[in-house]
Amino acid sequence: MIAAFRIPGAGRLKQAETTRFSFDGQSYAGVEGDTLASALLANGVHLVGRSFKYHRPRGFLSAGAEEPNALVEIKRDSARKTPNVRATVQELYDGLTAQSQNRWPSLSFDVSALGDIASPLLSAGFYYKTFMWPKSAWKNFYEPKIRAAAGLGVAPDQPDPDHYSARFAHCDVLVLGGGAAGIAAALAAAETGVRVILADEQADFGGSLHFESGARIDGQDGFAWAQAAIATLNAMDNVRVLSRTTAFGYYAQNFVGLVERVSDHLQNPGRDLPRERLWQVRAKRVVLATGAIERHMVFADNDRPGIMLASAARTYLNHYGVAVGRNVGIYTANDSAYAAAIDLKKAGVGVAAIVDLRDNPTGSVIDEARALGIEVNFGRAVIRAGGKLRVSSMTVQPKNGGGERTIPVDAILMSAGWTPSVHLFSQSRGKVAFNDETKRFVPGAYAQDCVSVGACNGTDGLSATIDEAYAAGAKAAKDAGANTVKGTKPKVDASESWSRGMLGAAPGAGPDTTVKAFVDFQNDVTAKDIRQAVHEGMRSIEHVKRFTTNGMATDQGKTSNMHGLAIAAETLGKPIPQVGLTTFRAPYTPVTFGSIVGHARGKLFDPTRKTAIHPWAEAQGAVFEDVGQWKRAWYFPKAGEDMHAAVDRECVTVRKTAGLFDASTLGKIEVVGPDAAKFMELLYTNPWEKLEPGRCRYGIMLREDGFIYDDGVVGRLAADRFHVTTTTGGAPRVMNHMEDYLQTEFPHLNVWLTSTTEQWAVIAVQGPKSRDIIAPLVEGIDMSDGALPHMSVREGRICGVPTRLFRMSFTGERGFEVNVPADYGQAVWDALWAEGQKHGACAYGTETMHVLRAEKGYIIVGQDTDGTVTPNDAGLDWAVGKKKTDFVGIRGMARPDLVAKGRKHLVGLKTKDPKVVLEEGAQIVGDPKQAIPMTMIGHVTSSYWSENCGRSIALALVAGGRDRMGETLYVPMPNGTIEVEVTGMVFFDEKGERLNG
């Protein structure tokens, strides 16, 4: 059965091919090729939404992407709920389910519409003025209430099950907009053989040819010509044609972001199709053919359902075969709305009257309308619309006042003129220029290699548009390197011409009125709001915009910006260009997070780095922690153990027998070359020239400002080769820091740097039995204390594979770090583990590593230091070469503030109650009885329970800390103040005898 407002034979859709859909639970029939909007209109449904602030009933304003009102939720399943979909853009598919938004309990009866009656309280800037105090009420009362009452759709509450793809593309000529201008430009460019991409946001190309019934090109109907031209372009190897693709952002150097909606229009998208595809296109030349958007008339109650743009009504009729009413009124300030009246009249729709604000316009469309018997009124205004859920009448008055006359209508089609779509041009950083004669902003100075053609360039008329676009397409191709090939320019046989129109509020909505004449439908901004903003002191259009929120909704003011600007200019008594246009920003239309994120979600969001020994630790039931991108074994709980029990056991076992620790994540850099030692001298505070090959040294790296940047043990393998280790998290930046100095400050040094972090698996074997565990597996290295003393390194073999064997300790016990090529990491670990088992060794994780090093007062850069700690602050003066004349940080370290008295020193803290473990980050004060806010003199940097010491231990940065040994300080906490004693940093084996134990 054909829907009530579908006109048999009208439009381009095959009316026999019906499809079912539902809106707010009601089932309807549509036709294949419909949008949700055209299908609803075919069924006589105009009321589709409630407005953002006043909850006023709203219908369709447009037939395209500029739609501010008809936002609905499309629901495919429980996870696939898309809010704020413009019904004018959503293509219909069988079974589509849509719901209206921002209404309760129902669309036709919305309790919050009381807000409309109480609207004097909700005028522009009401947030700032009405809800000011008490302060706490904003957070607890006003904001939640306002947010609940005002709003758009509801965000989905489940993870997005769809996938999104992304592509990069390069082309010679990118044409944005696929109306007559874009197609002509693309044809001209494509005929030269250069690579062309043509994109348009709609399902079908043609732009305004969708509705311009008067256009004929190359002997055929304009829309048919467009389809034929697209078929030609599609058949060319050098052309890519993208429909349903919106250019949303124009960035530097002709880099344009486009989103292609791949499957939102399909009934069953299928798992193999992405929902959307992001195109990142780099073009040598860009042709902007983005057209123009019709403006509405600003008059009282111009938002009633049934009131829409004249071009939209034409689109619904001429493309979709749908009449937007049975008795329509026209309100216009230019010629183009006449064409709507003529088309509708010819299709058998009643046209009550044309109300034209102009005094005595002349032209063929006016004559034609009259000839068809349509009543035409000049010099009159529609001062008010009647009806609530649907427009029922328009009240007409001479524009300078006089008798009113109310004409019953069921739709009002309006046109205040056309606004060139300069959004992308403006995003390209081009400067728009105001044409005073035509009252519109058009592209002025260009900032990039692009050109605007057609309506977006202010070019009127189809012939002129095609001439301009074809020439521009050919020139763009030539500029991009084409050898000129002569094509055939499309020939325009008939076209429509539109004259200008008006900006701002129409009569009846002037400064002396309090009517609701909407400028911005989506944000409920009226002409009165904009005047009020000016009266309250806003002078710049940017301020007016923010105060009223005009143009700040998801439609970004596509229909409202020019009206808002004109009203502000009029109220300010300034010409429009002096008030200025607000900046156009990306995105042109809303873009989903999914399309921007693409595949970079979940596991693909960020790389996860795992060591060679990771699977073993996983199998042992280790608990992991994230350290940068690395997964590190945190502790190895045995059955029934919690974290504390496991860590206590691991700590005791290491000091009693031995422990194995996966230290593979340590950053490693190979510093090689004849000048390697000189380079090390400059990058680290320590002296390196005299370090003998085979020996190691703890190195400190500073930034030029004198603060600690990184640390690590460095082994000298040969006169010209250092094995440098860095902190796990610091490896990439240390490498960058070294490369920076080597390439730019010390390029005379002959040195090579290579990151070897992932080449070496590192197994730390620590504890009194460590040598016994390793020795049976090692070949070619004398493991005696005399031959391999603490802080030395040897190359040899372990388990038959090459090793760099370090004798070093981050626990204070006799210790080794076995470096083997990463591929052998697991096998060598297995062998060491088997040996370790014979001695009762355990595997330990990062938590135990932290506790054991804190027991010895070894710092962790980034935990015990924070980027404002000098070597002296950290008690590491001994590691700074006193005789050195240069190293990075030598001068910074000597700055007055860095050598001043009273700096924070790293010290130990012991709680008076040994069972109390301090909180890391807790603040320290000298006098707990002082008034709040207290003077903080430091903070706790590391704090643990030490099973080996039988008490808690902590490290802290405390002002003048080394001069406070034995002093009692206080750590105020929510549950009471904790007394602490300042101590040295070493809590266990102060003499360091166990290194050789």
Report the SS3 class of residue 476: helix
Min dist. Cβ of residue 167 to another protein (A): 14
Stretch that binds another protein, among 65-73, 594-602, 816-824, 891-899 (CB under 8 A): 891-899
* E strand spans, 581-695: 623-627, 630-635, 659-662, 667-672
Cβ-based neighbours of 109, under 8 Å, separated by 6 or more: none
Question: What Å distances lie between residue 726 and 667, 701, 715, 729, CA to CA?
Answer: 5, 10, 12, 8
Residue 277 or 284 with smaller CB distance to another protein: 284
- At residue 41, φ and ψ (nearest 5 deg) are -65, -35
Cα–Cα nearest to 340, from 214, 195, 216: 214
Q: Which span sits near another protein by CB under 8 A: 207-215, 354-362, 737-745, 963-971?
A: 737-745
Which CB, 747 or 984, lies closer to another protein?
747
Q: Are 92 and 30 in contact (CB under 8 A)?
A: yes
**Residue 596 makes contact with another protein by CB under 8 A:** no
Is residue 770 within 8 A of residue 785, CB to CB? The reply is no
Start-to-end CA distance of the chain, whole Å, equals: 95
Q: Which is nearer to another protein, 282 or 839 (CB)?
A: 282
Residue 250 or 434: the one with the smaller Cβ distance to another protein is 250
886: contact with another protein by CB under 8 A: yes
CB of 62 to another protein, least distance (A): 33
What is the gyration radius of the CA atoms in the chain, in angstroms? 38
CB of 891 to another protein, least distance (A): 5
Q: What whole-number distance in Å separates Cα of residue 674 and Cα of residue 677?
A: 8
- Least separation in angstroms between residue 745's CB and another protein is 5
CA 265 to centroid of chain Cα atoms: 25
Among 888, 881, 876, CA closest to 688: 881
Binding mask 246-285 toward another protein (x if CB under 8 A, else -) reads -----xxx-x------------------------x-x---
Distances from the Cα of 246 to the Cα of 257, 280, 375, 522, 665, angstroms: 8, 12, 40, 21, 45
* Shortest separation between residue 893's beta carbon and another protein, angstroms: 10
Q: Closer CB to another protein, residue 272 or residue 886?
A: 886
Alpha carbon of 81 to those of 75, 244, 510, 675, 968: distances in Å? Answer: 4, 20, 42, 63, 61
Task: Please report whether residue 894 would count as binding another protein according to CB under 8 A.
Answer: yes
Query: In whole angstroms, how close is the CB of 240 to another protein at the nearest point?
Result: 20
Q: Which residue has the tokens 């770090």?
A: 817
Which one among 471, 890, 916, 934 touches another protein, defined by CB under 8 A? Answer: 890
Any contact of residue 963 with another protein (CB under 8 A)? no
Given 367, 740, 830, 963, the residue binding another protein (CB under 8 A): 740
Kindly state the number of chain residues that form the binding site for another protein, as judged by CB under 8 A.
25
What are the Cα distances from residue 908, in Å, to 162, 605, 839, 974, 981?
Answer: 54, 40, 33, 23, 8
Please report whether residue 447 would count as binding another protein according to CB under 8 A: yes
Minimum gap (Å) between residue 672 Cβ and another protein: 16
* Part of the chain binding another protein (CB under 8 A), chosen from 134-142, 673-681, 738-746, 984-992: 738-746
Phi, psi of 561 (to 5 degrees): -55, -45
Q: Does 896 bind another protein (CB under 8 A)?
A: yes
The vertex-420 CA angle with 419 and 425, nearest 5°, equals: 140
- 205/210 Cα distance (integer angstroms): 8
Q: How far is the CB of 441 from another protein (least distance, A)?
A: 21
Q: Is the Cβ–Cβ distance between 302 and 518 less than 8 Å?
A: yes
Among 429, 535, 638, 912, binds another protein (CB under 8 A): 429
Q: How far is the CB of 691 from another protein (least distance, A)?
A: 22
Of residues 578 and 754, the one with the C-beta less far from another protein: 754
**How long a stretch of residues is the chain?**
997
Q: How far is the CB of 792 from another protein (least distance, A)?
A: 32
C-alpha distances in Å from residue 284, one per residue of 196, 448, 480, 586: 10, 10, 6, 21
Which residue from 404, 542, 739, 785 is in contact with another protein, where contact means CB under 8 A? 739
Verify binding: residue 877, another protein, rule CB under 8 A. no
- The piece of 267-275, 534-542, 739-747, 792-800 that touches another protein (CB under 8 A) is 739-747
CA angle at residue 130 from 144 to 572, to 5 degrees? 125
**Toward another protein, which CB reaches closer, 702 or 969?**
702
Among the candidate windows 78-86, 286-294, 883-891, 986-994, which touches another protein by CB under 8 A? 883-891
Residue found by looking up tokens 């919106």 in the block:
246
The mark string for 743-762 relative to another protein (x by CB under 8 A, - otherwise) is xxx-x---------------
What residues does 174 pair with on adjacent strands? 197, 286
Per-residue binding letters, 756-795, with another protein (x by CB under 8 A): ----------------------------------------
CB of 415 to another protein, least distance (A): 38
Angle at 105 between CA 101 and CA 110, to 5 degrees: 75
CA distance 433 to 602: 46
Q: Is 583 in the site for another protein (CB under 8 A)?
A: no
In the complex, what is the shortest distance from the CB of residue 885 to another protein, in angstroms, rounded to a whole number? 6
- The mark string for 668-707 relative to another protein (x by CB under 8 A, - otherwise) is ------------------------------------xx--
How many angstroms separate the most distant Cα atoms in the chain? Answer: 115
Piece of the chain touching another protein by CB under 8 A; list 295-303, 324-332, 342-350, 890-898: 890-898
Task: Residue 1: count other Cβ atoms within 10 Å of its Cβ.
Answer: 6
Name residues contacting another protein, limited to 704-723 (CB under 8 A). 704-705
CB of 353 to another protein, least distance (A): 52
Structure tokens at 351: 């046209």
Which of 145, 539, 574, 891 touches another protein (CB under 8 A)? 891
Q: Name the residue nearer to another protein (CB basis): 322 or 701.
A: 701
Residue from the set 26, 136, 885, 975 that interacts with another protein by CB under 8 A: 885
Identify whether the C-beta of residue 920 lies closer than 8 Å to the C-beta of residue 850.
Answer: no
Q: Which of 386, 789, 862, 892 binds another protein (CB under 8 A)?
A: 892
Q: With respect to another protein, which residue has the nearer C-beta, 738 or 773?
A: 738
Residue/partner pairs of 544-547 with CB below 8 Å, 24 or more apart: 544/568, 545/582, 547/124, 547/125, 547/128
Tokens encoding 775 = 């020795």
Q: For residue 810, give the DSSP letter.
A: S
Q: Is 209 helix (H, G, I), strand (E, B) or coil?
A: helix
- Quote the tokens at residue 698: 């703890």
CB closer to another protein out of 777 and 890: 890
Beta bridge mates, 322: 6
Instruction: Find the shortest distance in angstroms from Cβ 448 to another protein.
Output: 9
Q: Which is nearer to another protein, 282 or 721 (CB)?
A: 282
Instruction: Report residue 550 as tokens.
Output: 């005009």
Residue in 928, 959, 923, 963 with CA at minimum distance from that of residue 943: 923
User: Which residue lies nearer to another protein by CB, 32 or 705?
Assistant: 705
Q: Closer to another protein at the Cβ: 136 or 744?
A: 744
What span, in angstroms and rounded, lies between the C-alpha atoms of 295 and 298?
Answer: 9
Residue number, 446 or 624, with CB nearest to another protein? 446
List 736, 784, 837, 968, residue binding another protein (CB under 8 A): 736
Give the span between the Cα atoms of 37 and 63, in whole angstroms.
8
Residue numbers at the binding site for another protein (CB under 8 A): 251-253, 255, 280, 282, 429, 447, 704-705, 736, 739-740, 743-745, 747, 885-886, 890-892, 894-896
